[in-house]
Amino acid sequence: MIINTTILSWVTFIYFGSSIFYMFKMVTGKEFWGPFASFIALAGLIAQSFALILRWVESYKLGIGHAPLSNLYESLIFFAWAIVFLYLIMEWRIKTRNLGAFVIPFAFLFMAYASFSPDVNSGIRPLIPALQSNWLISHVITCFFGYAAFTIACGLGFIYLLKGLERGQSSRPFLRFLPDREVLDELSHHSVVIGFIFLTLGIITGSVWAYSAWGSYWSWDPKETWSLITWLVYASMLHSRFVRGWRGKRMAIMSIVGFASVLFTYFGVNYLPGLHSYF
Amino acid sequence: MKKTVLSFLSSLKLTIALLIIIALASILGTIIPQQYEGGESFRHLSPGLVNAFKSLQLFDMYHSVWFIILMCLLSLNLIVCSVNRFPGSWRLFRKIPSPDRSKPFEDLPPDRVLITKRRRSEVIERVESLLLRRYKKVKRKDTANTISFYGEKGAYSHFGVYIIHLSILIFVSGAMIGSLFGFEAFVNIAEGESTNVVSLRRQKGVRKLDFTVRCDKFSIAYYDNGMPKEYRSNLSFLKNNKAIYQGPLLVNHPVTVNGIRFYQASYGSIPGGQASISIKKGNGEATTIGVKLRDSFYLKEEDARVTISRIEENLMSMGPAVLLNIQSPRGNMRLWVFKDIEEIKEGIPLLFKKVPKFNPGLFKPYYFKLNKIESKYYTGLQLSRDPGASIVAVGSFFIIIGLIIAFFSSHRRLWVRLDEQQGETRITVNATSNRDPVGLRREIEHLLRHLREAVVVG
Ligand code: HEM
C-alpha cells in the first residue's frame, strides 16, 4: 500500500474516535469531552490534508500528475475532508461542540467506504482524456463543498427531530444539552444556503466542462438531471422558508430529503441507464 | 377572469408545485431511457405501454411539448411575481425614513445607550463624521434638545432575488434559443476520407455543411498501464478544395470552424479498411498489392477483372479473409481468400473438396494469398452550434451575483439620537434589517464600540 492511502485509512479511525468523543459529550453533557473530540477531528483533518498533498506529489512522481480529485476514491476522501473542514469552521464560529455527534460520523462513513470497500480502487490512476480539464477540478471542489454543507444540514435536521422528542423536565437529559431549536433551525438554514450556492457553482462549472468536453453544456444525462433535481429540492426548501415562513420540523425533514437526493446524485445514478459515452 | 389567471400565475404555491413537478418529471426522465439516437431497446415493456409512452413523448421528454409548457409556466410565474413585487422593493430601496422617528427607540435595552460629558458640538461632529464614513444616505434632523440621524447600508439587497429570478429567465431563453437556432450532430469519418454531411441528433435527419471535413489521421496515445492518454484527430476543413483550417482535435479541446464547434467524441476501427494480397501465377514471382474495399485489378493474361467485394476481420471464426469477385470469359467466380489457409486446411482435411471457393488456387493458374488486413480508424465527431450558450453563460454569472446579494447582504437601517440632558449627551442607537438578525446585532455592537471610542473614551 502506498503511504498516502495508509495515512488515509488511519484518518478513518481518527474520525471514528472523534465521533465517539462527540457522542460522549452529547450524552453526558460534560464539557470535558468536547475539546478532545474537536482536537481529534482537527488532527484528523490535518493528517488528511497532509495525505492529500502527498498523494498529489506522488502522482507527479509517477509522471501522471493531477490533483487528487479524479475518481470515486479521491472524491469520497475529499467529501469527508470538506465535511470536517466546514464543520470545524462552524464549530469555531458558534462555539458549541454539541453537534459533532451527528456530523463527524458522516465523514467517518465516507472515509471507511473509500478505504475499506472492495469496490473502491484507491490506486493513483492516470487521467483519461475526458478528465484532463481544469474545469473538472473546480467542478469537483465546488460540488463537494456543497454536498458537505448539505451533509451538515442533514445532521442538524436529525438533531432537530431528536430535540423535538424533548418534553418538559422528565425527558432524556441529554436532549437538554442540545442547542435550542431556533438555533438549530438557523444553523441548518445557513448550511443549506452555503450548500445551495456551492451546488449552483458546481452545476455551472460542470456545464462549462461539459461544453468543452462533449459539445453541449447540458445534455440531460442522469447525473446532470439528478443534480438539477437536488437543486430544485433545495430551491423549493428555500422558497417555503422565505415566502411561506416554514420553519423547524418541516425544514428538518426537507434537509434530510435533500440529502437523500444528494446521495442519489452521487451514488445512485450509476444504476440508471446512462447515455453518455465518457470514453 | 383576468384577475384569477393573474393571481394563479402570481402564487407561490404554483411556483413550489412547478418546481416539484419538474423535479418529478426529471426523475421519470432518468428512469425511462431517453431515446436520442433511436435503437434503444424497450423489449421489456409491452407494446401498448410503449405506444402510450410514445404519445406522451416520454422517450424524448425534455423536448416534449408538455415539458416546454411547464417551463413556460414557470417563466410566466416568475415574471408575474417579479412585476408584482418590484414596485414594493423599489420603494424600500429609495425611501428614506424620517430620522426623528420615535418608534425605533421604544423599549431599547440599556446597552444601546452611551452617555458622555464631552462638549456637545464636538460630540455631534464626531458622531456625524463616523456615520458619514460608514453609512449611505445619512440624514440629520435637529429639534430643540435632540439631534437625530438616519443612515443605511446594503439597500441593494432587495434586488438579489430579482437578479436570481432574472437569471433563471435568461437560462430558459438561452436554452430556447439554442434549441430553436442551434443544432447538434455527429459524424464518423474514416482516416483519409472526407464528408460534408452530418447526422442530426434525435433523428432529425441530416444536415449539409458548407464546407468539407477530412480526417487525415486518428491516433491514440496510451499510458504505461494501457489506459488511454490522448485521442487525437488531425482534421482538415476544406472549402472549394482549399483548406480553411487544419489542425488537431483533442478531447476537451474543441475546434470552432465557421461558427460550428467540433468535438472529439468517439472513435472506432473499420475492419478491412485495406488488405494486402499477393498474386502468384504458376511458379512465377508473387506480386503484392494493397487494396481497399471495392477496389479492382485486372489480370491481363486471363482477361479477368478481380474486385474486392468484402473484407472480413474474422470470417466464420477462421480469421481474416477477403472475398474476390472474378469476372472473366470463363464466367463469374467468387473466391474467399483466408490469411490462415494453411492452418484451416490442416483442421479440415477435405476442405477444398467440400468448399471449393475456399481454395486460393481455384482460379488457375493464379494463386492468391492474403498477407494481412489493416484496419483503419474512424473518428467520431460531435458538432454543435449553440447561439444560446453565451446567453446561458451570462445567466450563470448573474445567478451567482444574485445569490451572493440575496443571501449575504442585508438592508440595515440605523437610527442614532443625541439627547441633551443637564450637560450630558445621551446617545441612543437602534437599527433594523430585512434579514440576518445575528449580523445586525454584531453591527450594532461594532458601531457602539466605535462611538464609545470616539466620544466617551478618546
Ligand atoms: C427555480 C426557479 C425559481 C422560481 C420559479 C422562483 C419563483 C419564485 C416566486 C414565484 C417567488 C415569490 C415571489 C412573490 O412572492 O411574489 C419567489 C421568491 C423568492 N425566491 Fe425564487 N424562484 C426560483 C428560484 C430561486 C432561487 C434559485 C433562489 C435562490 C435561493 C430564489 C430566491 C427567492 C427568494 C429569496 C424569494 C423570496 C423573496 C422575498 O420574500 O423577499 N428563487 N421565487
Q: Count other C-beta atoms under 10 Å from residue B106's C-beta.
A: 7
| Residues of chain A found within 8 Å of residue B266, distances taken between Cβ atoms | 277, 279
For residues B422-433, average pLDDT: 86
B215 has a pLDDT exceeding 60: yes
Taking only the tens place, the pLDDT of each residue in A169-204 is 555 667 777 788 888 888 999 999 999 999 999 999
> What is the rounded end-to-end Cα distance, in angstroms, of chain B?
68
Q: Distance between CA A50 and CA A70 in Å, rounded?
A: 18
- Residues A199-217 have a mean pLDDT of 91
CB-nearest to B407 from A126, A193, A222 is A193
- What are the tens digits of pLDDT across the range B362-406? 888 889 998 888 778 889 999 999 999 999 999 999 999 999 999
Say what percent of chain B tops pLDDT 70: 95
Residue B225 touches partner A, C-beta closer than 8 Å: yes
From the list A263, A98, A59, the residue with the least C-alpha distance to A187 is A98
Name the pairing type of β-strands B366-385 and B194-200.
unpaired
How buried is residue B67: exposed, middle or buried, by Cβ count under 10 Å (0-12/13-18/19+)?
A: middle
CB atoms within 10 A of CB B343: 11
pLDDT at B213 over 80: yes
d(CA B139, CA B95): 12
Predicted confidence at residue B37, as pLDDT, reads 41
Using the beta-carbon criterion (under 8 Å), do A214 and B265 form an inter-chain contact? yes
A275 contact residues in B (CB cutoff 8 A):
33-34, 36
What secondary structure does DSSP assign to B88-149, as a single string?
HHHHHHH----TT-SGGGTT--GGGEEEE-S-HHHHHHHHHHHHHHH-EEEEEEE-SSEEEE
Distance B81 CA to ligand 1 centre (A): 9
Label residue A261 by pLDDT band (50, 70, 90): very high
Lowest mean pLDDT across A239-253, B102-116, B177-191, B442-456: B102-116
Pocket test for ligand 1, best of B15, B84, B90 (most atoms within 8 A of CB): B15
Q: Chains A, B: CB contacts under 8 A, how many?
A: 110
pLDDT at A170: 54
How far apart, in whole angstroms, are the C-alpha atoms of residue A67 and residue A131? 11
In chain B, the residue whose alpha carbon lies closest to the alpha carbon of A62 is B224
Assign A275 a pLDDT band (cuts: 50, 70, 90): very low
Residue B446's CB is within 10 A of a number of other CB atoms, namely 11
Nearest to B155 by CA among B436, B408, B411: B411
pLDDT of residue B110: 79
Residue A279 confidence (pLDDT)? 35
Asked if B392 lies within 8 A of A207 by C-beta distance, the reply is: yes
- Give the CA diameter of chain B: 133
Q: How confident is the model at residue A246 (pLDDT cuts 50, 70, 90)?
A: confident
Mean pLDDT (chain A) is 87
Q: Which residue has the higher pLDDT, B75 or B436?
A: B75
Pairing of strands B412-421, B424-433: antiparallel
Residue B131 reports pLDDT greater than 50: yes
Q: Tally Cβ neighbours within 10 Å of residue B442.
A: 11
Question: What digits encode the pLDDT tens for the residues B13-41?
Answer: 888 889 889 989 888 888 877 664 444 55
Going by pLDDT thresholds of 50, 70 and 90, the confidence category of residue A125 is: confident
Judged by CB atoms closer than 8 Å, whether chains meet at B175 and A218 is answered as: yes
pLDDT value for A110: 94
Give the orientation angle of helix B160-181 with respect to helix B389-408, to 10 degrees. 170
What letter represents residue B379's amino acid?
A: T
What does pTM read for this prediction?
0.84
B68 touches chain A (CB under 8 A): no
Percent pLDDT > 90 in chain B is 27
A127 CA: distance to closest CA in chain B (Å)? 7
Give the start-end residues of each E strand in chain A: none
B279-304 mean pLDDT: 85
Q: What is the pLDDT of residue A240?
A: 87
pLDDT at B39: 44
Asked whether B195 and B424 are in contact (CB, 8 A), the reply is no
Nearest to A232 among B19, B389, B438 (CB): B19
> Kind and range of the H or E element at A234?
helix A222-242
Kindly give, in sequence order, each residue whose CB lies less than 8 Å from that of residue B318, ignoring residues fewer than 6 positions away.
B338, B340, B344
pLDDT of residue B36: 44
Residue B403 CA: which ligand 1 atom is closest? Answer: 29
Interior/surface letters A161-182, b for 16+ CB within 10 angstroms, e for the rest: ebbeebeeeeeeebbeebbebe
C-alpha span between B253 and B263 (Å, rounded)? 7
Give Cβ neighbours of residue B209 (< 8 Å, ≥ 6 apart): B196, B197, B198, B260
B181-187 mean pLDDT: 90
CA distance B272 to chain A (A): 24
Dihedral sign (CA B173, B176, B181, B182): positive
Q: What is the pLDDT of residue B261?
A: 93
Indicate if the pLDDT at residue A276 is higher than 50.
no
Average confidence (pLDDT) over B418-444? 86
ipTM: 0.89
Domain boundaries, chain B: 2-89, 96-154+410-457, 179-270+378-398, 272-374
Give me the residue label for grid cell 456637545. B120
For A92-109, what is each residue's pLDDT tens digit? 988 888 888 999 999 999
With vertex at residue B112, the alpha carbon angle to CA B107 and CA B118, rounded to the nearest 5 degrees, is: 125
Report pLDDT for B163. 96
Q: How many whole angstroms from A184 Cα to the centroid of ligand 1?
A: 23
Can you tell me the mean pLDDT for B172-189? 91
pLDDT at A272: 65
Alpha carbons B177 and A227: distance in angstroms, whole number: 23
Contacts of B228 in chain A (CB under 8 A): 128-129, 279
Q: What is the pLDDT of residue A278?
A: 36
More confident residue, B55 or B255: B255
Cα B165 to ligand 1 centre (Å): 7
Interface residue A260 vs chain B (CB under 8 A)? no
**B129 C-alpha vs ligand 1 centroid, how far in Å?**
39
Nearest CA in chain B to A221: B30
Average pLDDT over residues A223-249: 88
pLDDT greater than 90 at residue A274: no
List of long-range contacts for A157-163, beta carbons under 8 Å, 24+ apart? A157/A188, A157/A251, A157/A252, A157/A253, A157/A254, A157/A255, A157/A256, A157/A259, A158/A102, A158/A252, A158/A256, A159/A99, A159/A102, A159/A184, A160/A184, A160/A185, A160/A188, A160/A248, A160/A249, A160/A251, A160/A252, A161/A249, A161/A252, A161/A253
Q: Please count the residues of chain A.
A: 279
pLDDT, tens digit, 9 for 90 and up, residues B151-175: 999 999 999 999 999 999 999 999 9
Residue B59 is given by DSSP the state: G
With bands split at pLDDT 50, 70 and 90, how would you rate the model's confidence at A273?
Answer: low
Q: Which one, of A62, A64, A77, lies nearest residue A10 by Cα?
A: A77
A102 and A171 Cβ atoms separated by less than 8 Å:
no
pLDDT for B38: 43
Give me the count of residues in chain B.
458
pLDDT tens digits, one per residue of A131-177 = 888 888 999 999 999 999 999 999 999 999 988 877 665 556 677 77
More confident residue, A263 or B46: A263
- Within 8 A of A206 by CB-CB distance, chain B residues are none
Average pLDDT, chain B: 86
User: Apex CA A144: angle with CA A140 and CA A149, to 5°?
Assistant: 155
pLDDT given at position B43? 57
Give, to the nearest 10 degrees, the angle between helix A104-116 and helix A134-163.
130
Contact by Cβ (8 Å): A176, A166: yes
Mean per-residue pLDDT for B266-291? 83
Q: What is the mean pLDDT of residues A248-255?
A: 89
pLDDT digits (tens, 9 = 90+) for A41-71: 999 999 999 999 999 988 888 878 888 888 8
Return the C-alpha cell found at A65.
500528475
- pLDDT above 80 (res B126): yes
Q: Give me the pLDDT at residue B87, please.
A: 92
Confidence of residue A235 (pLDDT cuts 50, 70, 90): very high
CATH superfamily of the B96-154+410-457 domain = Kinase associated domain 1, KA1 (3.30.310.80)
- How close is the Cα of A239 to the center of ligand 1, in Å? 6
Check residue A29 and give its pLDDT. Answer: 76
Helix, strand and coil content of chain B, in percent to the nearest 5, comes to 40, 40, 25
Residue B233 near residue B245, CB atoms below 8 Å: no
DSSP conformational letter for B454: I
Q: Which residues line ligand 1 (CB under 6 A)?
A: A 196, 235, 238-239, 242-243; B 12, 15, 19, 74, 77-78, 81, 84-85, 161, 164-165, 168, 403, 406
